[in-house]
């Protein structure tokens, strides 16, 4: 009798040991999993600190007010940040109306047939095309066939095509989240489809669409490969003609066809030089690019979080 009891107790101990062992395995795996995810974050932190340590000596007003120069210590980002700003403004005015309109069409208007399927497959596929392919498209089509040259408008249009899928997908997702009864309520008071879309759907999905636009613009700011492919010059010691002029008609669009450089290209250029002094400039540029893109993406993520939390249909 006592022997049987002892063996039961022994079994129980063995079972408990096994449970402990398995629970330990669970904990160990959870730690490994967290660590695996943290590799990315750690890399980002290391990268940022590395850039700061390499480039901090160049952080002064001159970095933003000087043109590039043969002397590394005097070289600045003036033409690059102005170029980035102008290129992104072209991207913004092209990609936003086109992307939002396409998203609205696909979600609210498109009939369920092969035609809509073709458009859908295209959008999905475009999101997976490597960015440098867009550069080749722009080089062949915009630069030579359409004769737009290696200019701000070419770069802006190229990046617009590149971020179009981002804008479309985000627009669709935020429109899809709107419940049907909002649409039915609009129809019930006699609204036409467009009145329903413009007064209600666009109004409610505005935050989500904005998120997509910000993420897309951050991507456009950081993209290098397609802009290099269209042949952006890397040594630009002038500014494009000002868009605003004192005499009527006050607006001037010559800047659209001006040569240009952008922040990531300036960084790439300095990075490809053998002279270490230019690597310091590249590091400082890297800090500027990272801070701006992280701020933009951070805003977008925060915005989406707020929307998800606050909207109760």
Comparing CB distances to another protein, the nearer of 108 and 252 is 108
Tell me if 244 contacts another protein by CB under 8 A: no
Residue 21 contacts by C-beta under 8 Å, 6 or more apart in sequence?
A: none
Tell me if 248 contacts another protein by CB under 8 A: no
State the number of binding residues for another protein (CB under 8 A): 90
Closest CA to 51 of 312, 280, 304: 280
Helices 276-310 and 2-55, axial angle in degrees (round to 10): 130
Distance (Å) of CA 285 to CA 25, 222, 224, 226, 236: 45, 11, 13, 19, 16
Q: How far is the CB of 274 from another protein (least distance, A)?
A: 10
Asked if residues 222 and 292 have their Cβ atoms less than 8 Å apart, the reply is: no
Tell me if 237 contacts another protein by CB under 8 A: no
Closest CA to 76 of 301, 285, 261: 285
One of 2, 3, 4, 40 touching another protein (CB under 8 A)? 40
Positions in 282-301 near another protein (CB under 8 A): 282-283, 286, 289-290, 293-294, 296-298, 301
Per-residue tokens: 120: 């859908």
Tell me if 89 contacts another protein by CB under 8 A: no
Positions in 133-192 near another protein (CB under 8 A): 133-137, 139-141, 144, 161, 164-165, 168, 192
Q: How far is the CB of 255 from another protein (least distance, A)?
A: 23
One of 76, 79, 219, 261 touching another protein (CB under 8 A)? 219
Residue 253 contacts by C-beta under 8 Å, 6 or more apart in sequence?
A: 243
Comparing CB distances to another protein, the nearer of 86 and 280 is 280
Q: How far is the CB of 242 from another protein (least distance, A)?
A: 28
Closest CA to 151 of 233, 217, 85, 225: 233
- Report DSSP state, residue 247: S
Q: How far apart are CA 98 and CA 44, in angstroms?
A: 33
Cα 25 to chain centroid distance, Å, stands at: 39
Positions in 95-134 near another protein (CB under 8 A): 97-99, 101-102, 104-106, 109-110, 118-119, 122-126, 128-134
Comparing CB distances to another protein, the nearer of 6 and 14 is 14
Torsion of CA 103, 107, 110, 113, to 10 degrees: 110
Comparing CB distances to another protein, the nearer of 86 and 296 is 296
Positions in 197-216 near another protein (CB under 8 A): 215
Tell me if 57 contacts another protein by CB under 8 A: no
């Amino acid at each position: 009798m006592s022997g049987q009891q002892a063996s039961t107790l022994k079994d129980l101990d063995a079972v408990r040991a096994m449970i402990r062992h398995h629970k330990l395995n669970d904990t160990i795996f959870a730690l490994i999993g967290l660590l695996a995810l943290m590799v990315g974050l750690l890399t980002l932190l290391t990268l940022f600190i590395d850039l700061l340590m390499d480039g901090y000596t160049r952080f002064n007003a001159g970095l933003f007010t000087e043109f590039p120069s043969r002397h590394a210590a005097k070289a600045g980002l003036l033409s690059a940040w102005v170029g980035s700003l102008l290129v992104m403004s072209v991207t913004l005015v092209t990609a936003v109306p086109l992307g939002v309109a396409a998203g609205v069409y696909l979600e609210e208007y498109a009939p369920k047939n092969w035609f809509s399927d073709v458009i859908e497959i295209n959008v999905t596929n475009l999101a997976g095309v490597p960015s440098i392919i867009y550069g080749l498209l722009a080089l062949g089509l915009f630069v030579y066939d359409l004769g737009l040259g290696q200019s701000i408008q070419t770069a802006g249009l190229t990046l617009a095509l590149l971020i179009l899928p981002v804008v479309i997908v985000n627009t669709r997702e935020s429109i899809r989240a709107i419940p049907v009864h909002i649409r039915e309520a609009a129809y019930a008071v006699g609204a036409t489809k467009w009145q329903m879309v413009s007064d209600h759907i666009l109004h409610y999905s505005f935050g989500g669409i904005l998120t997509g636009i910000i993420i897309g613009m951050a991507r456009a700011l950081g993209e290098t490969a397609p802009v290099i492919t269209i042949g952006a010059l890397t040594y630009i010691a002038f500014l494009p003609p000002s868009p605003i002029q004192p005499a009527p008609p006050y607006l001037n669009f010559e800047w659209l066809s001006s040569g240009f450089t952008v922040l990531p290209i300036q960084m790439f250029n300095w990075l490809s030089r053998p002279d270490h002094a230019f690597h310091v400039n590249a590091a400082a540029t890297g800090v500027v690019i990272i801070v701006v893109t992280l701020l933009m993406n951070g805003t977008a993520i925060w915005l989406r979080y707020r929307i998800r939390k606050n909207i109760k249909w």
